[in-house]
Amino acid sequence: MKQTKLAIIGAGGLTGKELTGLLSHHPHFQLVHITSNQVDGKHIRDVFPELSHLPDLVFQKHDTEIPKDVHIVLATPNEVSLEKAPEFLKEGRKVIDLSGTFRLHDQVKFEKAYQFPHTKFDMMDQVVFGLPELFREKIKNANFVSNPGCYATSAILPIAILGNLRKNIRGPVVVDAKSGVSGAGGRTEEIKFAYTHVYENFRAYKILSHQHEPEIEEYAFVGSEPKEILFTPHLLPVYRGILSTIYIQFTNPVDPKEIQEKLQAVAEKEPFLRLYKTPEEIEIKKVQNTNFLDLGFKTKGNTLVLVSALDNLVKGAAGQSLQNLNLMFGYPENLGLVSI
Q: What residues are annotated to the active site?
A: 150
Q: Is 223 helix (H, G, I), strand (E, B) or coil?
A: coil
Asked if residues 147 and 101 have their Cβ atoms less than 8 Å apart, the reply is no
The long-range contacts involving 134-142, CB below 8 angstroms and separated by at least 24 positions, are 134/160, 134/219, 134/222, 136/327, 136/333, 139/324, 139/327, 139/328, 140/327, 140/328, 140/330, 142/94, 142/328
The closest of 73, 86, 154, 118 to 324, measured between CA atoms, is: 73
Q: Is 14 helix (H, G, I), strand (E, B) or coil?
A: helix
Q: Is 205 helix (H, G, I), strand (E, B) or coil?
A: coil
Q: Residues 129, 17, 308, CA angle at the centre, nearest 5°? A: 50
Residues 6+ positions from 188 with CB-CB distance below 8 Å: none
Asked if residues 214 and 152 have their Cβ atoms less than 8 Å apart, the reply is no
Q: Are β-strands 229-235 and 203-204 bridged in parallel, bridged antiparallel, or unpaired?
A: antiparallel
- What is the distance between the alpha carbons of residues 300 and 225, in angstroms, rounded to a whole number? 23
Strands (E), 76-152: 95-97, 128-129, 144-146
Q: Is 329 helix (H, G, I), strand (E, B) or coil?
A: coil
Q: Is 156 helix (H, G, I), strand (E, B) or coil?
A: helix
Q: What is the largest CA-CA distance in the chain?
A: 62
